[in-house]
Structure 1
Amino acid sequence: MTRTVRHAGAFCLLLLAALLVNAARVQLVEGGTYERNPANRRADIDRYHHPRGDILVGDRPVTGSVDTGGRLRHERTYADGPLYAPVTGFASQAYGTTLLEHAEDDVLTGRHPLLSALPLLGGPAGTGGDVLTTVQPQAQRAAFDGLGGRKGAVVALEPATGRILAMVSTPSYDPADLSGNGPSSARAWRRLLADPDQPMLNRAVRQTYPPGSTFKVVTAAAALEARVVRDLDQRVGEPGPYRLPGTDTELADERAECGGATLRQAFEWSCNTVFARLGVRVGAERMARTARAFGFNDDGLRIPFGVAPSTFDPHVDPAQLALSSIGQYNTRATPLQMARVAAVVAGGGMTRTPYLVERTTTDRGTTIGRAGPRGLRQVVRPATARLLRELMTGVVTDGTGGQAAIPGAVVGGKTGTAQHGVGNAGTPYAWFVSWARAERELEPRVAVAVVVEDAAADRGDITGGDVAAPVARAVMRAALAAP
């Protein structure tokens, strides 16, 4: 009897050891396979068990969560979804996350190290934290309403800090349509992907355009820095069309006066021949170096999500350089990049790295991370920046940017109308870049870039001054009026 019990006990121990070995094998050897198996819903169930943290604009949440009672319990909601979609992106149970929802996912889901290590600072373990943005609601609304459904984008920056005050891309979409994992979300996903206007594309930071004449701010800066031109009233125009070096192609101006223009007049009238010649005189190397200093050819910028690099081709012949210097050929820029160009001028020749997140907190408001101004860098000499400010102010007071003027404020700007398409057959892009300060303030408080892709006007009547400048004016006015 005793012998039988011993044998049974030994057999039980053997079975227990086998179970332990198998459990270890499953966890250590095959754990990754099971974890990656699409049929494993444990991670998703855990992810959506708690409400997701919120994204805030002006201390007001523009996101939320609703308890569906399902296995994937909490679903994302959005307030003013189309208005803030270029900032928040979407958080979908079926299609993942984008933009801030993706870049700050660890905070929003409660998986950030500080949230998981110190759960008592917030709610229960797994409770998401909050993300406070730099966006100014008045400026955001002014940009969205100003575009009025037209295809385009607006970015507004605070020059002294790099804070992004507005980021709008239209046409937009409601991220709430994608939040769930049911048939309605699937239908919305297919509809948005099939839409030729690409409403989910963030044109403000993920689309590059030929900047057209707004790039003449950079060309003027390069010419002044290289001392190719030393005075704003120095005559730089030459009579007649400009034959691009080594070609039979002639570049002409709309105004005959450009043939005898000073730099100030050429900037106000946006004379293509003048700035094409200046770019060639400056040279490809120095033009590329100046463009790089302004932020072109930077493929590492994150705000905190990635930004498409704006480009200035340094490997060009003189004819290509002439076109590049007036914002054509291979020169491409995001609206964010052109807002940075305006911010350099507004900031006295200095630049700050743009950023969109002010700080991150627990759900109870305890700060766990703070951004703040960073990356202060000199782009051009202060004396050059002062001259560029004078040029841009003249565009608004005496040139093509009169519709950007704001009573009680000093405004500087530059218009642009960029050709594109095969044989320049596409509807021209209307651009305006600008900055503004209240008359009693010492330094500009806002810098703006606006691009409109599909202006509703005859092709010959589409200009940055008529189409994009009024949008910039509305954004600047809202930013100056905000506390």
Structure 2
Amino acid sequence: MNTPIRRLGFVVAALFCSVLLAASYIQVLQAKSLNNRPGNTRIINAGYKIERGSILVDGKAIATSRKSNDKYVYERQYTNGSLYAPVTGYSSLVYGNGGGLEGAENEVLTGTSDSLFYRRLVDVVTGKPKQGANLELTINPKIQQAAAQALGNRRGAVVALDPKTGAVLAMVTSPSYDPDNLASHDTEAVTKTWTQMNAAANQPMVNRTIGGTLYPPGSTFKLVTSAAALESGNYSNSSTLPGPATLRLPQTTHSLPNDDGRACGPNDETSLLHALEVSCNTAYAQLGMDLGQDKLASQAKKFGFGDVMRVPMRVTPSTFPTQLNEPQTAMSAIGQYDVRVTPLQIAMISATIANGGNQMQPYLVKNVVDSDLDVIKSTDPKVRAKPISGQTADSLTEMMEAVVNNGTGKQAAVPGVQVAGKTGTAQGDTKNAADLWFTGFAPANDPKIALAIVLENGGDQGVEALAGSVAAPAARQIFEAAVR
């Protein structure tokens, strides 16, 4: 064989091996990711020939599959769709599965998850048709409904947790949407609806509890600053702090005022407890500078800032800024400047305090069950971290009780039940009214619920609105539903 033919043979062999390796890589290693692509119409169409598992709240289906009258065999159907849309997401013939559990737990709902291998094997042996598994959720329908009513038509979000387990009791955003409108097999109508919702300025498809544009936390972040101070060992609830009516910020010509324009105590002094009770900006700004950015950043990280979590939907990480100068540190200590959070993160801070310093991993899916409602897989509560000591948690609880008993959070009080909480009025965009927050837990001595609520752009009260008069009474409605 002459040299040119031999070289050609090597080239052909190399090309053949390349094709073989590429095909193997695509069919084996990339198969799962390609199958899960939202635009993979072959997989989407095939999925509509299998009865997709239901999503259950308190034993009742909020998402289920019904027989259709077309070639796709099954059509998705949602009950109280707009109430549960942040939880369920959508299952669409045109746009795939996403926005919530429909996307995050797609393999379980279609029965293709590796965790269901033995169940599939049993079904093959017994001759059962292919069927997805069902999801039993942690959502409490009474609390979910109360959260939606508390928000009303105002833009915002509520997330509630069981502080002892991490179970998500409520996940509500406003405005919302009805996933039934995306589940229709009328592709032209679905496309029109999708285009309208994605173009809407109020972003109804964004789950504000765990993603979207993150919020400045305002004074709810004073819980983190308080924790950093208490954990340092140099402060207690009775420690004296400066609390003048205004604080001159170093390196600037600006002064930071308190919301009421007054000093936080006699002789321009206050205690750490009273500073949280009245949400004293000047005391906390000075405290933040005294602690320094490193201690604040470290405490925020311990609470989960910067971490990617799944519930099982991906949660956008909350952020605490870096490379701060003194005035930036002062503003960050009161939850302004570039501090940004999800409502879930703020709820987790309250839940951690309520649980004696142990932060539980938040989760939405309680059980995976088969068509006979036999449990295939359960979620066990898991401690995620211990950001603060039990002593610090007790001190913070005392401070948060004072906020509701005597301070800015009075309108969150529930008769006969001790509530612990913190308000927050956060100016993220100077063109609009502030975002209004309340976070806390109840009952304070035996917590059953921890929550965070945020109302965007002043709720419905305009630029003069404060969290204590808008967010706190909304939180009270949710607490009452949980503890009554």
Question: What is the TM-score when the length of structure 2 is the normalising length?
Answer: 0.87
Match for residue 207 of structure 2?
Answer: 202
Match for residue 149 of structure 1?
Answer: 153
The structure-2 alpha-carbon separation of the partners of 1:40 and 1:185, relative to structure 1 and needing over 3 Å to count, comes to closer
> Residue type matched to 1:218 in 2?
V
Which among 281, 291, 301 is matched to residue 290 of structure 2?
281
Q: Is the Cα–Cα contact under 8 Å of residues 121 and 362 in structure 1 kept in the other structure?
A: no
Offset at residue 41 of structure 1 (A): 6.4
Q: Which moved more, 1:264-273 or 1:303-312?
A: 264-273
- Following the alignment from structure 1 to structure 2, what is the Cα–Cα distance between the partners of residues 121 and 52? 20
Instruction: Give CA deviations for 1:365-406 in whole Å, capped at 9, x if unaligned.
Output: 222221120134221111111110011000111001111111
Instruction: Give CA deviations for 1:168-225 in whole Å, capped at 9, x if unaligned.
Output: 0000000010013421111111111111100000001013100000100111111111
> Residue type matched to 2:241 in 1?
V
Q: Which moved more, 1:234-243 or 1:196-205?
A: 234-243
Match for residue 221 of structure 2?
Answer: 215
Match for residue 406 of structure 2?
Answer: 398
Offset at residue 235 of structure 1 (A): 2.2
Match for residue 111 of structure 2?
Answer: 110
- Following the alignment from structure 1 to structure 2, what is the Cα–Cα distance between the partners of residues 54 and 350? 33
CA RMSD of aligned residues (A): 2.5
Q: Which moved more, 1:388-397 or 1:372-381?
A: 372-381
Match for residue 317 of structure 1?
Answer: 325
Q: Superposed, which structure 2 residues align to 1:268-307 within 5 Å? A: 268-298=277-307, 300-307=308-315
> SS at 1:168's partner residue?
strand
Match for residue 78 of structure 2?
Answer: 78
> SS at 2:197's partner residue?
helix
- Following the alignment from structure 2 to structure 1, what is the Cα–Cα distance between the partners of residues 83 and 39? 36
> SS at 2:310's partner residue?
coil
Offset at residue 110 of structure 1 (A): 1.7
- Following the alignment from structure 2 to structure 1, what is the Cα–Cα distance between the partners of residues 130 and 60? 22
Q: Which moved more, 1:201-210 or 1:309-318?
A: 309-318
- Following the alignment from structure 2 to structure 1, what is the Cα–Cα distance between the partners of residues 349 and 311? 17
- Following the alignment from structure 1 to structure 2, what is the Cα–Cα distance between the partners of residues 70 and 85? 26
Unaligned runs of 5+ in 2: 1-19
Match for residue 63 of structure 1?
Answer: 63
Match for residue 6 of structure 1?
Answer: none
Is 1:357 aligned to 2:365, yes or no? yes
- Following the alignment from structure 2 to structure 1, what is the Cα–Cα distance between the partners of residues 121 and 340? 45
Q: Is the Cα–Cα contact under 8 Å of residues 121 and 366 in structure 1 kept in the other structure?
A: no
> SS at 1:390's partner residue?
helix
Is 1:252 aligned to 2:253, yes or no? no
The structure-2 alpha-carbon separation of the partners of 1:453 and 1:39, relative to structure 1 and needing over 3 Å to count, comes to closer
Q: Superposed, which structure 2 residues align to 1:436-475 within 5 Å? A: 436-437=442-443, 442-454=445-457, 455-460=459-464, 462-475=465-478
- Following the alignment from structure 2 to structure 1, what is the Cα–Cα distance between the partners of residues 473 and 39? 53
Q: Is the Cα–Cα contact under 8 Å of residues 116 and 125 in structure 1 kept in the other structure?
A: no
Offset at residue 97 of structure 1 (A): 1.1
Q: Is the Cα–Cα contact under 8 Å of residues 38 and 97 in structure 2 kept in the other structure?
A: no
Offset at residue 314 of structure 1 (A): 3.1
- Following the alignment from structure 1 to structure 2, what is the Cα–Cα distance between the partners of residues 240 and 451? 27
Q: Is the Cα–Cα contact under 8 Å of residues 39 and 96 in structure 2 kept in the other structure?
A: no
> Residue type matched to 2:215 in 1?
Y
Q: Which moved more, 1:237-246 or 1:202-211?
A: 237-246
> SS at 2:314's partner residue?
coil
> SS at 2:153's partner residue?
coil
> SS at 2:209's partner residue?
helix
Match for residue 13 of structure 1?
Answer: none
Offset at residue 112 of structure 1 (A): 2.2
- Following the alignment from structure 1 to structure 2, what is the Cα–Cα distance between the partners of residues 178 and 330? 36
Q: Is the Cα–Cα contact under 8 Å of residues 228 and 281 in structure 1 kept in the other structure?
A: no
> Residue type matched to 1:308 in 2?
T
Q: Is the Cα–Cα contact under 8 Å of residues 432 and 468 in structure 1 kept in the other structure?
A: yes
Q: Is the Cα–Cα contact under 8 Å of residues 110 and 125 in structure 1 kept in the other structure?
A: no
Offset at residue 425 of structure 1 (A): 2.3
- Following the alignment from structure 1 to structure 2, what is the Cα–Cα distance between the partners of residues 275 and 30? 56
Match for residue 226 of structure 1?
Answer: 232
> Residue type matched to 2:446 in 1?
E
Which among 223, 241, 246 is matched to residue 246 of structure 2?
241
Q: Is the Cα–Cα contact under 8 Å of residues 94 and 180 in structure 1 kept in the other structure?
A: no
The structure-2 alpha-carbon separation of the partners of 1:64 and 1:223, relative to structure 1 and needing over 3 Å to count, comes to same
Offset at residue 238 of structure 1 (A): 4.1
Offset at residue 75 of structure 1 (A): 1.1
- Following the alignment from structure 2 to structure 1, what is the Cα–Cα distance between the partners of residues 330 and 128? 62
Question: What is the TM-score when the length of structure 1 is the normalising length?
Answer: 0.88
Offset at residue 261 of structure 1 (A): 1.8
Match for residue 482 of structure 2?
Answer: 479
Offset at residue 121 of structure 1 (A): 9.6
> Residue type matched to 2:306 in 1?
N
> SS at 1:56's partner residue?
strand
The aligned length equals 447
Q: Which moved more, 1:211-220 or 1:248-257?
A: 248-257
Match for residue 17 of structure 2?
Answer: none
> SS at 1:261's partner residue?
strand
- Following the alignment from structure 2 to structure 1, what is the Cα–Cα distance between the partners of residues 146 and 126? 35
Offset at residue 443 of structure 1 (A): 2.1
- Following the alignment from structure 1 to structure 2, what is the Cα–Cα distance between the partners of residues 201 and 294? 24
> SS at 1:62's partner residue?
strand
Q: Sequence identity of aligned pairs in percent?
A: 40
